[in-house]
Structure 1
């Protein structure tokens, strides 16, 4: 592959994505705030950069996978001065539209292009190249990055030319995931207390009223109550939910269910469970129900 890619942010999602780009033959320059996360990828053929500027200066495509708006803004302040003209920044983080609008303008001023490209899928999907990409921004730039996105995903959904739309879509999609996890957790707890086999119940759901992919993924995890350290931490989920609420308010929409779920997330976080994976919500609901019985 002729393109050089700078990859910044090697967390639970960034690491497998970068690994697949290296395996696909791209020259990938890696930067992470914690350098030890870079070592394993260097062993696979990646190239370590000591600074963000070093990673970006010769890159045709820059990919960022960061935790929040603050991190994206901070890193972008180091990316922008080093960008070469004509380069493309694929922003895969979950952030607000306002942040992406501002970044798109700053990139344009540098002769570069900002594309919103958040992803749908958990780390196992990233490892298996089975992510979904939510893409928006300049049409010509989107065409150029198609091979890169094909190397890490199963499908890309194009949400038009505005370089921020797909970030809003990502917030809406995550809001739906959180409410489904809440719903499944409540139903599975009710089944447990009613003496109903939860696996049979899930099988019934999937084959009658509720066969959505998110149910297929999270249903078994909720039943097993597996706290995966590489999963979707409650604190990060709560951040996304807050951003969804703020975005809805700004456009004059309401998300009443978001407040219910967020109350539960914040209680889990307050009890020290900010890193607990989403399926552990059922444990919190069980504890709450037992308190009511007492």
Structure 2
């Protein structure tokens, strides 16, 4: 039986944070047996409430599982986890890492798994907590074609768009490139609104023009950084995060690392990384990434003094 013919029924899910918990819950609703683990007791309890089976450890979670999904904060956490659990899995088990990590770390994870007789995909996501809860995430997947086909039914449960981007590390490459576009565009949209304010142009007027003209983009039409024009945007909830500024700072930092390593001239991407790092370390620590508009507004006021 080829790997693409395998029937996945039991899934180990490691990492039940804001993204992992609703992703695991969607798998439970699709009638997969989900054996879950998280170092944080409250997070594990949330997984159990959603119908997952609690494991006493990550090793216990992966023992006998057909497929392993991880959703962790950084590359070092994924590498450390794999060092601990690869020996407990059945030979040939497919590991799917949905964390957002450095491309080099993702390739190291693949090499580590394959060196222990396992198979691996990097499959970071876009769509935030709302997408995780609704099962409408976008998955960007790197790894082999057979492995992709095997994981696809589960990824389809958790997302609405699943793209096989190429070989090992390609999913992470797509993720950081996409989020570099998003970070730069959010700053550009925010600067435009602050400029509009200084010119006496209302938020609604600028939105009505730009949202149907060449300035249209996701940062404007879905996550508009000012209150009013898009009722569902975080700006109307005092910038409570949908996608937090620290997460944007992390992703732009990964993009900046790749830019420097590749010798790429990406002035705007590097500047956006600097701006979001500063914002996330200050008032943006608990805010949506669109809240950077307030920093730009304050800096503009200081410059005008």
TM-score (norm 2): 0.89
Gaps of 5+ in 1: none
1:158 paired with 2:184, answer: no
Gaps of 5+ in 2: 1-6, 225-229
SS of corresponding position for 1:159: strand
Deviation at 1:271, TM superposition (A): 2.7
Q: Summarize deviations over 1:135-193 as a string: whole Å, max 9, x none.
A: 12111111111110110111111112x21111111111111110111111111122223
SS of corresponding position for 1:228: coil
User: What is the RMSD of the two structures over their aligned residues, measured on CA atoms?
Assistant: 1.9
1:86 paired with 2:92, answer: yes
Of residues 9, 12, 18 in structure 2, which corresponds to 1:6? 12
Q: Where do 1:48-197 residues align within 5 Å?
A: 48-160=54-166, 162-197=167-202
Distance 1:149-1:192 versus aligned 2 partners, 3 A rule = same
Q: Is the contact between residue 16 and residue 47 of structure 2 (CA under 8 Å) also seen in structure 1? A: no
SS of corresponding position for 1:207: coil
CA distance in 2, matches of 1:124, 1:270: 24
SS of corresponding position for 2:120: strand
Q: 2:227 is matched with which residue?
A: none
Q: Summarize deviations over 1:220-251 as a string: whole Å, max 9, x none.
A: 3375363224x322223222112111112222
Distance 1:280-1:290 versus aligned 2 partners, 3 A rule = same
Of residues 224, 247, 250 in structure 1, which corresponds to 2:236? 224
CA distance in 1, matches of 2:206, 2:137: 28
Q: 1:255 is matched with which residue?
A: 266
Q: Is the contact between residue 8 and residue 67 of structure 2 (CA under 8 Å) also seen in structure 1? A: no
SS of corresponding position for 2:168: coil
1:18 paired with 2:3, answer: no
CA distance in 2, matches of 1:46, 1:266: 36
Q: Where do 1:236-247 residues align within 5 Å?
A: 236-247=247-258
SS of corresponding position for 1:6: strand
TM-score (norm 1): 0.92
Distance 1:40-1:34 versus aligned 2 partners, 3 A rule = same
Deviation at 1:66, TM superposition (A): 1.3
Deviation at 1:273, TM superposition (A): 3.1
The alignment covers a number of residue pairs equal to 292
Q: 1:234 is matched with which residue?
A: 245
1:46 paired with 2:74, answer: no
